[in-house]
Structure formats: structure tokens, C-alpha cells
Amino acid sequence: MRLIRNLLALLVLAIGVLWSLQGLGLVHGSFMTGQRQWLYIGLVTVLVGLLGLRWANRSRL
């Protein structure tokens, strides 16, 4: 179960990074390229992914 949570969190993190880069205009070929809103959506998604990784790897007592 821990592996699945980690993979899901990493997927969310990767999508967030991609959206952020598209929002900055560094990744071309999409309607999202150069749209500032996708930078912000991507940053929030990255944060969710990082929180997901933290949750997936929290220590259990």
C-alpha cells in the first residue's frame, strides 16, 4: 500500500512540475504554454504531491 501511495504522489508531483514548466513557457506544444494560470495550478499541484509523499512516508508508531 505504501508503494502505491508513493507512486501516486510522485505522479501528482510530476504532473505539477510539467504544468508549471508549461505555464512558464519552457515546455511547448500545448494550449497551456505561456499561460500564467498553469504556473500557479502547477505549483499547487506540486505542493499536493509533496504533501502526499510526506503522508505516504510518515513514520508509524
Q: What is the mean pLDDT of the chain?
A: 94
- 10-31 pLDDT, tens per residue? 999 999 999 999 999 999 988 9
Residue 61: is its pLDDT beyond 70?
no
Residue 47: is its pLDDT beyond 90?
yes
pTM: 0.88
Distance separating alpha carbons of residues 33 and 17, to the nearest angstrom = 13
| Amino acid sitting at position 10 | L
CB-CB contact of 48 with 4 (8 Å): no
CB burial of residue 16 (10 Å; 0-12, 13-18, 19+): buried
Distance separating alpha carbons of residues 53 and 6, to the nearest angstrom = 6
